[in-house]
Structure formats: C-alpha cells, structure tokens
Copies of this chain bind each other. A is one copy, B any other.
C-alpha cells in the first residue's frame, strides 16, 4: 500500500511501506504493493488515484477540479482541463463514477457522490471540503474530509462503485450531484425511487470540446440504510423582470421529499441520515450505457450486499492476478513501483462497455446490441495506443487484445468504419490517421487470429481506398493517393501528420495483403507507404510540409510546434519529432537521411539539441532506432537509461505527460524490461538494457506455445556486450516475437 502525503511523498511512502511490511499486513510479493496510483496525477499525466478494477467500466475517483476554491491550484473552468483529479488540488467535491485515465481532453467525470454534514447545500463552491490523508491502492482509495470530519473510502467492481463514508454524530448528508462534472456536456435526470435508492442518467459527450459524441450514462445508487429525509435540487434559470416575485431565480431550489423525475442542467439529490458518531453509510452505484434497468442489473449482479471489505478484497485480487503476469527481480523499490504502476495503468483502458447481460450501445447508434461472447471494449485512443499498448497486450494479455480486435471489427459492422478515437461507442474524430490498421495487422502477425480476418481486411481496405472527403478515417485520401502525400491546404492543418500515419497503416496493410495472398494490394499499399519521401526537404535535411503544387511550404521553421504550439502540417509536434516516423522503411529512411552514419548523427542530435519530446507519441520510438545501425546500439541503451531516469518517477509527477490511456506506461514497462516493438506490424522487438535483474513474463497457453519468457540481465558494464536467446547468441539487437513466444530465456549481458 502506498500512502502519499504532499510534504515528501516518496519518503513517507517508503516509511509506510516499511511499516506495512513489518506489520505483515501485506505481502511483499504482491504486485499491488508496488503500485502507486498517484503516479501521473500531476505534470499533465492525467491519471488518477481512484478505485477501479482491471478494465472496469466504473472508476470511483476523488473529484477535485471544480469550485474555484483557493485550495485548488487548478480549476477546470479556468483553462483546458482533462482530468477529474489533480494532485495539486485539495478541494474535494465528491467521487465521480465514470472517468477517463490519462487522456488530454475533458470528458466523463460525472455522477458525483459527496458526503457532507449539517444543512444541505447544493453549491459546489460551498459544499466542497479540504481533503487530507489520501490513501490509494489498486481497487481502493480513501481520503479524509477536514471540513466535515468524514472518512471516505471507495472501491469498485467492473460495473459498480462502492463508497463507505464514516460520519460524525449529527445530521449527515450524501449528495448526488448530476450538474457538476468534468464533461462539458450537461443535462441529467434523476428519480428518488425510495429512501434507499436513486436512479437516473447524466449526459456525457463533448470529448475534446467536440460536439457530436453525446450519450447518456445511466445509474442506480443504493444505500445500505434508509434516509431519514431526502430531496432533489435544481439550479433555477435566471429570470428577468419576473425575478421580482420569485425566491429562486438563478439560485438552487430544494425540492424536499421529491419523488418524481427531476430533469435539468444542474440537478442533484440529497439523502440525509441522523448518524451516531463513526456511523458508516455505504452506497453502491451501478452504471450502464444502455439503460437504468441494466444499471440496476449490473448493481444486483456485482454488488456484495454493501460488504465493503469483500468488494475491496475482490478488487485487490483482480489486480494482483492481472499484475502477476510479469514478475521482476532486482531494481530499486522506486523502479518496481514505476514498473507495476505502468502495468496498472495499462489495465485501465480500453475498458468494458457491455453490461452483465451482454448488452451495449452500438457504435454511432442508439441501438442496443448483445455481445455474442467475451467483452465489448471501449475507449480506443488508437493514435496513441497502436504504437505499443496493443503489441504489449498481445504478448502479455492476448485474450484482452483479442477482445480489442473483435470490438473494433464489431464497430466496423455497426458503423461502417473502424475506430480511430472511440469513446463509449462514439467516434470522437480526435487525432488523425488510420491506426486501426496497424493494430489489427500487428495482432494477426503476433498469432492472435480468432477473429474474422476477411471482414477485418474489408474494413481496413475501405478506409485505405474509399475516395472523397466522406472517408471518415482518411478525409484527404484523394490527394494522398494521387500525389503520394497530403498537401498543406490551410495554415495549421495537420497534413504531414496525417500522411505519416497513412504510410505506416498502408505498410501494415501491405504486409497483411501479402500474407493473405493478395499480391496486387501488397504492391499497391507498399508503394503508397513509401510516399513519405515526398516530404523530405534536401535544403533542411528534414521533412517539411508540402503544398498542393508540389513546392515546399515557404517560411519553414522546423522547430515550430514545440510545446503544443500550432505548427503548419504537424499535430502536437514539430518537424524534428515527425521526421523519423517512416520506420516501416528503415532502409529507405536511412538512405534518405544520408546513410547510416549521417542518420545516427542526426538522430543523436535530436536528443542532444533538445528536440526529443518524451511527453508525446510521435517520437517515442526514436531512442530505439539506433538499434537499426550496427554499432550504434549503445546509444539506444544510453538514451533510454537517461529518459527512464529523467521522466519516470515514483511520484505524482512521475509521467512525462498524458499517459494517453496507457501508452506512456507501456513505453516505460517495455523499456524497463529491455525490449520494445518499434514498429507495429513488424515482429522484431528491439533490445536494450533492462533495469531489473530478471523479468518473467507468463505466456497465455491458449495463445502461445511457450510457458514463459525470462529476461535475465547480467554483467556490470554500461553497455550490452551480448544477447543470448535460449543460450544462443543473437547476431542482432532484435528478437522476433514469434520466436519469443515459444518461451525461453533472453540473456542480456552487460
């Protein structure tokens, strides 16, 4: 268990851990004990310490980003804000029950359960409390509310959250606020069913401030004790002249004993209990994206009848089971904590969308479908995750990756298109490219094939070939196909970023076409994938946006685009961060950049001159690219050692930036193990120096012939001297996935 206090989180964390180890409360061998859910909760990591189970639909997150309180450093209304929790904030306003972890856009963060005492107050700027004594552990979170002297604890099942509030004596309230939240969508409806149950829904949507992704989330909240009194509230609209006669214009209006449907922009309910000192009130909340009935079904099915400890223990067991797929030896406590917290973050998204009866809302539709088997996943941040998270799932959690691909193909079935950034069965159209292709192709090549490859191929081919602006994944496909690149058409379009994604997708599609015996497609898509060369500017020796007439963008500054400033042609980056993104054609890219020596020099300069950005995805494969130049592999080891030590820490600021639904966490987990799938669709893992003495990856016998992979790190040199696989020295710094999954030992000798 990791406790973090702000004064000196790391030290206190270790002291507490020591105490816990001594007291025997937890086993030192439990991977859960090496998870610090506070990692990434500041420095734009956008993770949160809330309670969740692996791939749970529900997470119960301490919400502390509203209220304009002096206790908060950040307020969601004061700027772009994308997380329900900030380590820097101390003004707690409730537990939100549906949340996103590690994303760069605001969404969800709703269905807020807030305990208070005394008179009911629905104003979030007034009812919030200073929080302290935060404790987070996989499947468990607790904080103390100073203002009210209430201890709060939460845990979760896949589709429910459970809260245990320990109240002082007196009038104790539990508010259910449906007005506030992280999402910028609004509107909710609620009905107090009886003095122990509340049902309703809350509208969500506007991910990345976009419209068009709206869907209600339904809930049923159940209390272990009957409320002594209850009611609903609504913030009333501001009246004009009529305000002279109304007591509630622009104010919160309280509807005591209200039991009909209540709807509005800013509504909520309160349950009040006359509590004795230290009385615990427990609330369970079931969630569904289909209906209130399903939320109740989920609650009935997953509830442990208000037994908080059982729910918590089950959640902890789920986590320990999931995290036990990899065991490590050696490394510091902090390294272990960074590693297992990474593994923990990888298990949050994608998450399940279907209810216990299999029902889920169809993609881009309000139809309800029933999942045939397995789990329907949601939250696909594919522009991020295609790079490493899906290859990782294929290796360590192949059943989950199969669920991913099956879910993606279902999305195509339902909406006509594969997803790019899918959220709760809506395509948010965030970021660019055609990342479903490398995900599916990579999965296939890794040997996970229990899906309809013909339909998948049809789906991928559709986005790769459908002409016109109605191509949902490649809206600029016409130029891309006719000119071989996407020309810059407006000042800050992301034309180059688009094209670079299409090249990688097309290379993947070509590989699959070949595998499936479609030589024509192979040739076509492989040729298209080479188009990246169009962007190479000899003058600048770097890629450069190109206009429709074939000339390069004038007034070019390759640095422009740093720090998320707008840049012509590039999305969230600059020319440096995108210039080595044709790693599907390493030979071609090396040649284009002047041969091996020049390439290595230019690549090294990216790091040396401060152009490398650890905080965003486009260049995160860069450190591994030295492995492609014989004799330069030590640079990969060196840069990785530096990056791991600099950007990944056992601390709230321990992620370099948005975790991107586990992408950054996957990067650090792979890097700490000493290998990385540089190019999705390419089965070669690049090898570098593990931070641990030994890493053991359990293989799923349903998918792979081997039982486990052991990576053994020996010797004491700075650089790798030799790599052996099952005793045989490897000639290269790569090892093939399909060899690896037969099981065995990689020995990395320093």
Contacts and interface: CB of A to CB of B under 8 A. Distances in A.
A79 B260 contact: no
A229 to B, nearest CB: 15
A206 interface: yes
Contact of A209 (B184, B187, B245, B265): B245
B239 A184 contact: yes
Contact of A245 (B80, B188, B264): B80
A77 B241 contact: yes
A215 interface: yes
Given A77-B241, A184-B242, A242-B76, A261 B209 contact: no
Given A187-B262, A211-B248, A261-B189, A78 B366 contact: no
Given A186-B264, A234-B187, A77 B203 contact: no
A522 interface: no
Interface in A216-259: 216, 234, 236-237, 239-242, 245-248, 253, 255, 258-259
A234 B265 CA distance: 10
Interface in A664-708: none
Contacts of A241: 77-80
A676 B433 CA distance: 84
Contact of A216 (B248, B253, B260): B260
Interface residues of A, number: 46
A216 B237 CA distance: 17
Contacts of A76: 242
B187 A242 contact: no
Contact of A239 (B77, B246, B253): B77
A260 B187 contact: no
Interface in A335-393: 366
Contacts of A203: 262-264
B261 A186 contact: no
A473 to B, nearest CB: 20
A258 B366 contact: yes
Contacts of A262: 187, 203
Contacts of A525: none
Given A211-B253, A240-B78, A260-B216, A206 B246 contact: yes
Copy count, this protein chain:
2
A214 interface: yes
Contacts of A253: 211
Interface string A310-338: 00000000000000000000000000000
A651 to B, nearest CB: 28
A257 to B, nearest CB: 8
A2 interface: no
A201 interface: yes
A532 interface: no
Interface string A509-541: 000000000000000000000000000000000
Contacts of A215: 260
A44 interface: no
Interface in A57-116: 76-81, 106
Interface in A159-196: 184, 186-189
Contact of A246 (B188, B209, B247): B209
A299 to B, nearest CB: 19
B248 A265 contact: no
Given A201-B263, A261-B201, A236 B186 contact: yes
A186 B237 contact: yes
Contacts of A264: 186-187, 203, 263-265
Given A187-B263, A245-B80, A264-B186, A258 B214 contact: yes
Indicate the member of A78, A240, A248, A265 with the most B CB atoms within 10 Å. Answer: A265
B188 A260 contact: no
Contacts of A236: 184, 186
A139 B241 CA distance: 34
26 contacts: A78-B241, A80-B242, A106-B242, A184-B236, A184-B239, A184-B242, A184-B246, A186-B236, A186-B237, A186-B264, A187-B262, A187-B263, A187-B267, A189-B261, A203-B262, A203-B263, A209-B247, A211-B247, A211-B253, A212-B255, A214-B260, A237-B265, A258-B366, A260-B366, A264-B265, A265-B265
9 closest A-B pairs by CB: A187-B264, A259-B366, A209-B245, A77-B240, A263-B263, A189-B263, A187-B263, A265-B265, A209-B246
